[in-house]
Structure 1
């Protein structure tokens, strides 16, 4: 009806093209406010349990000049959360703020008794965990035994019993009224700082409105995207604001240096650049060395020093890629012969996969689990020795939609008490530790749970496409509108299209990637495309059915565009359900 068309047009600014409106609508965003939420629309922090108690602890520690120790985690979310906490508390007047982070090999995940023992000489009055703590019962007990107050800020799913901390802020606690359940760890501590500032304002302890905490949103954006939490409206508002700071050149020196060493252009930075460039460089420090290097980079305000630290992180990331590729090659060799028990002590065939090799690095098994999950569309748990020659194993689990892997570990733990030593995580990713002697029993129990839980439809991989692009939409204006229309990510996926193309030319680049020249019926000019990891040791067919993204080609500049191919089959030969590959992951 004409009236409906008028109301629909009024919901969108004129600069939003019909293609982007269609993309937004497919993701449930029917007007510009829901498609591009603003900071002014952020959920208020009031519903978070223990927030009053948490801000009282922090406010008292600041006013009395007590020593605050922030303990982070060894991934990008934990590193950015630590940097946000340290920077934010100092902005609010805290003078004695220290920070620490566990070593993956030495301490394992989270606040452990061994880490508390190492931190004891620092003699903190208040210990604040960021991005962990909800499962760290023993470590928190050890800290409390030393007379420390403990504030836990976390977003991981809690177990049946909460640790004995003085306050626990976690939107996923039972009974918590905060609607933004998808906050990353960095988002949780940012919200705590917002509430702390409000409290200190009410107490008359700040000049004017107090410090501008929005200056921390560049770090919040990086941690949120890198942790792969769903980008609901609240998280999109946080990430979009952080990206605006980075694009305007107002990000912290450490992130600016990471953008530079990654070869990205700050003014065109998107969520994908965080996921593929900044996040992996931060994560690499925690995987192969010590995340304290990454945190130092994020806390550094000297551009020259930040550049040195970013270059070290870049070198570690190159080493990480080499280690990862070797582990993946072993896995792929086993997969190629369909003899999935060929990796060390084996990979189980069926509804789920358990993989282990004595030579694997514990810091990289999560990436191996991710790649195997993408390759097979099965939940995967990959194990490595916690350290060379150790009997303790560290495992990383990655899952598929429809299988809550943290709940699966909880179910195994309930049925087989003592089998798993520690575990925690989310629906799509989790971590655990167990004794190597229990690997066979765990594999059997995990596979049995998967077989009982998963059905054939869930195990059938598909690619969700936004349909075909019209010939007139293959242009720079639409490519830029799609790039800038995000932030895109988990729960608000980047637009993906599909269609048939004639292959005009092709060549192999970088040994594994396929560069293509394509023709689309109705398009005015040939189209350039790149398929990362697409070389299959044989020429591509003359016609291809592609799932692809439309992107500006900044390398060629001008009006140039290119298609980023995510999946390719011979035209007319695509299966009803095709595996969702992520060939560009980890670049």
Structure 2
């Protein structure tokens, strides 16, 4: 799909940066709402304090009593990377605080589905916990919380997902997005929420002289920031000021080798050097390997890897995760081919016009991979996408991904309000959601969803855009600047790594791997400055194309490291042939 490249408008009139920040980065920061050096401070002292959390006092009081009285606490997590890191952090922190009876349980997505359901409560009851703590889930678990309390199990919900009209009757709820919660950052991942809860619990136990009286070493909560960084980046939550600090601090610890043995093992298996790690490595290298366990098998494997202290055992588990991720890629590739064939047939049937809200279903698709499929199709056609797979008892489960301008959970809420009973259940964020419905209702839902999307978007919203930070000058293609940009993050959702654009001559084109385009480009037809570039997952019907000698690229300036040699490399996000001949070189 052709994209429009728009350059960001930058106003530096109110900016007050020091000379230590290069002019290019001053423009980049200003376009992302940063105006002073002070806003770039990533020290832990800049973190928001936990006291503003609604429900925090009740949660801490209950957990402190559990620790002091030695009651069993069961952590119930989610089956993605945020849930896995949240679960590992809670288990590790509670153990470090002296609680011996702490365990975890993660619902297998294929047997129990998402969250604290009555069915998973029945399994949990067999472990005889006094307290259940949900992490990265629970805000919609009305029936599950009631089922736990009917068994005299107390429940603390920690979550970050948007609440529905009714909240569970838990003993305590800590969620920055619940009504009347005064915590300033609404974008915490689940792992960020439980980090704050455990930090407040440590403070309460310190106030009670718990550590001093028992000769326990008081845990340093900063030691868990590697988990916070991984879960935050992998869950693609916006990197606001607070999240940037959490991610930055976690990355610094990983770079210093002060990370979970399991995280270091996953990096080693992936061939990544911890001391050069950036946020993108967490999102595109570690996160997918961890997620593969929850997508194809059981997230318990991923959590055990994060909990493991033995390098040898951690490597064995990391290798298992690597195999699962490789299988996931193969499954995803096949599903993409099938989805594209369906869409091509749909375009023919409808004279080239696709629905504005795309719903795709295939009985053979893997339930654990439909979220990735929806994301890939969304990126390809730039419209909201829901991919469905068979569940059980005549139901199907869908995973949705949205585009800017459409709050996907609110869209599903509108569908549910207009068509009572059409959706069995749903929940999620602005950009991602999940749902269950009867298979027989698929056609009705497809039409209802498309109608809501058409009401909330206009045709211009379906045109994919790339926001560029402008063109680079010849002298900018330098290793020093590339390294400065690399270190200037952490970059991520709503705080994107700088993207530049410009026209280049394509001196070389060739495929590497199955569908990655390796390029050598230059600014002029005959130029001594030759720049390496790579575009991942290109359309093989278009590239490589020897007839194209000049192209417009949207790219990131990065550092390539190969056999000890470091050089500038362009990571190409988008390329299109130039239609107008370039002016003659002077």
Give the TM-score category using the shorter length: over 0.9
Task: Tell me the equivalent position of 1:98.
Answer: 103
Contact 1:545 1:572 in 2 (8 A): no
TM score, norm. by length of structure 2: 0.93
Question: Offset of 1:12 from its aligned partner?
Answer: 2.8
Task: Tell me the equivalent position of 1:39.
Answer: 44
Partner of residue 455 from structure 1, selected from 450, 453, 458: 458
Contact 1:468 1:497 in 2 (8 A): yes
Which ranges in structure 2 are unaligned for 5 or more consecutive residues? 1-10, 582-586
Write out per-residue CA displacement over residues 292-313 of structure 1, whole angstroms, 9 at most, x where no aligned residue.
Answer: 0000000101111100000000
Task: Tell me the equivalent position of 2:506.
Answer: 503
Contact 2:163 2:177 in 1 (8 A): yes
CA distance in 2: counterparts of 1:506 and 1:423, whole angstroms = 46
Write out per-residue CA displacement over residues 428-462 of structure 1, whole angstroms, 9 at most, x where no aligned residue.
Answer: 00001111011111112111111111112222211
Partner of residue 266 from structure 1, selected from 249, 262, 274: 274
CA distance in 1: counterparts of 2:220 and 2:496, whole angstroms = 31
Residues 164-313 of structure 1 mapped to structure 2, 5 A cutoff: 164-207=169-212, 210-313=218-321
Contact 2:140 2:164 in 1 (8 A): yes
Task: Tell me the equivalent position of 1:528.
Answer: 532
Question: Offset of 1:210 from its aligned partner?
Answer: 2.8
CA distance in 2: counterparts of 1:8 and 1:279, whole angstroms = 35
Question: Offset of 1:559 from its aligned partner?
Answer: 4.5
Partner of residue 397 from structure 2, selected from 387, 391, 394: 394
Contact 1:348 1:354 in 2 (8 A): no
Contact 2:75 2:104 in 1 (8 A): yes
Task: Tell me the equivalent position of 1:373.
Answer: 378
Task: Tell me the equivalent position of 1:580.
Answer: none
CA distance in 1: counterparts of 2:527 and 2:405, whole angstroms = 39
Write out per-residue CA displacement over residues 203-259 of structure 1, whole angstroms, 9 at most, x where no aligned residue.
Answer: 222339932010000000000000000000000000000000111111010000011
Task: Tell me the equivalent position of 1:585.
Answer: none
CA distance in 1: counterparts of 2:143 and 2:264, whole angstroms = 38
Question: Offset of 1:334 from its aligned partner?
Answer: 3.1
Partner of residue 417 from structure 1, selected from 401, 417, 420: 420
Contact 1:69 1:126 in 2 (8 A): yes
Question: Offset of 1:13 from its aligned partner?
Answer: 5.8
Contact 2:503 2:552 in 1 (8 A): yes
Contact 2:12 2:30 in 1 (8 A): no
Task: Tell me the equivalent position of 1:581.
Answer: none
Question: Offset of 1:134 from its aligned partner?
Answer: 0.4
Size of the alignment, in residue pairs? 563
Structure 2 CA distance for partners of 1:341 and 1:322, relative to 1, 3 Å: farther
Residues 531-550 of structure 1 mapped to structure 2, 5 A cutoff: 531-534=535-538, 535=540, 536=542, 538-540=544-546, 541-550=548-557
Write out per-residue CA displacement over residues 349-398 of structure 1, whole angstroms, 9 at most, x where no aligned residue.
Answer: 322101100000110000110011111111111100015xx411110010
Partner of residue 25 from structure 2, selected from 14, 20, 23: 20
Task: Tell me the equivalent position of 2:354.
Answer: 349
Structure 2 CA distance for partners of 1:244 and 1:374, relative to 1, 3 Å: same
Structure 2 CA distance for partners of 1:105 and 1:8, relative to 1, 3 Å: closer
Aligned-partner SS, 2:197:
helix
Matched, 1:109 2:114: yes
Question: Offset of 1:37 from its aligned partner?
Answer: 2.9
Contact 1:254 1:299 in 2 (8 A): yes
Structure 2 CA distance for partners of 1:49 and 1:428, relative to 1, 3 Å: same
CA distance in 1: counterparts of 2:18 and 2:318, whole angstroms = 41
Question: Offset of 1:120 from its aligned partner?
Answer: 1.4
Question: Offset of 1:573 from its aligned partner?
Answer: 6.8
Contact 1:218 1:251 in 2 (8 A): yes
Task: Tell me the equivalent position of 2:4.
Answer: none
CA distance in 2: counterparts of 1:357 and 1:8, whole angstroms = 52
Task: Tell me the equivalent position of 1:437.
Answer: 440
Structure 2 CA distance for partners of 1:8 and 1:115, relative to 1, 3 Å: closer
Contact 1:285 1:313 in 2 (8 A): yes
Contact 2:347 2:353 in 1 (8 A): no
Structure 2 CA distance for partners of 1:336 and 1:533, relative to 1, 3 Å: farther
CA distance in 2: counterparts of 1:5 and 1:443, whole angstroms = 46
Question: Offset of 1:263 from its aligned partner?
Answer: 1.1
Contact 2:15 2:30 in 1 (8 A): no
Contact 1:74 1:102 in 2 (8 A): yes
Aligned-partner SS, 2:509:
strand
Matched, 1:551 2:558: yes
Structure 2 CA distance for partners of 1:128 and 1:546, relative to 1, 3 Å: same
Partner of residue 324 from structure 1, selected from 332, 355, 363: 332
Query: What is the aligned-residue RMSD (CA, Å)?
Result: 2.1
Structure 2 CA distance for partners of 1:546 and 1:441, relative to 1, 3 Å: same
Matched, 1:494 2:489: no
CA distance in 2: counterparts of 1:241 and 1:258, whole angstroms = 19
Partner of residue 477 from structure 2, selected from 474, 477, 485: 474
CA distance in 2: counterparts of 1:6 and 1:409, whole angstroms = 42
Structure 2 CA distance for partners of 1:36 and 1:326, relative to 1, 3 Å: farther
Contact 1:474 1:523 in 2 (8 A): no
Write out per-residue CA displacement over residues 472-526 of structure 1, whole angstroms, 9 at most, x where no aligned residue.
Answer: 1101111111111111110101111000001111111113111111111497511
Structure 2 CA distance for partners of 1:478 and 1:232, relative to 1, 3 Å: same
Task: Tell me the equivalent position of 1:406.
Answer: 409
CA distance in 2: counterparts of 1:79 and 1:8, whole angstroms = 40
Contact 2:55 2:173 in 1 (8 A): yes
Structure 2 CA distance for partners of 1:341 and 1:287, relative to 1, 3 Å: farther
Matched, 1:137 2:142: yes
